[in-house]
Amino acid sequence: MGFRFGGFRSPARRNGAAALPTALLLLALAGEPAAAQQAQVIAEGKQDYDETCAACHGPEGRGNGPMAGLLVLPPSDLTRIAKDAGGAFPFWRVYRIVEGGETVKGHETFQMPQLGSRFRRDEAKPGYLPAHIRILTVTHFIESLQVD
């Protein structure tokens, strides 16, 4: 388990300073075409999503994960966020929800992990990327799940 970015998995990343992995990431992505960068960011977000969200929201984000039936409130279908918001994906609102700064029905309980808190605890360990980068990648992954 862990966050992988640019070939480094968070538990095994070599440098403890958060600024170094971030700088290396930015340098690594700077030479890549935009489509490759986008694919990498979404893949990294999917990894954290799979580890922290898919059990409830499902691998495709439809709210049908293996734990969904055990929850007090059923998980949201994340593929409909843009559609339910009038067609535009509310990126920063979703970021705040993932981070834990804005609650939605069902997330205020113990059943919804506060990823911001979890990721901030991780970044205190040697070699982890800053929480905000991980939250951004998860948000971009959720954005990629949107259906027409």
Distance CA 85, CA 97 (A): 15
Residues lower than pLDDT 50 in the chain: 1-18
Summarised one tens digit per residue, pLDDT across range 31-53 is 667 888 899 999 999 999 999 99
What is the reported pLDDT for 41? 92
What is the reported pLDDT for 118? 86
Tell me the domain boundaries of the chain. 38-144
What is the reported pLDDT for 8? 38
Residue with tokens 């700064």: 101
What is the reported pLDDT for 4? 40
Q: Tell me which fold the domain 38-144 belongs to.
A: Cytochrome Bc1 Complex; Chain D, domain 2 (1.10.760)
Closest alpha carbon to 94 in 56, 38, 146: 146
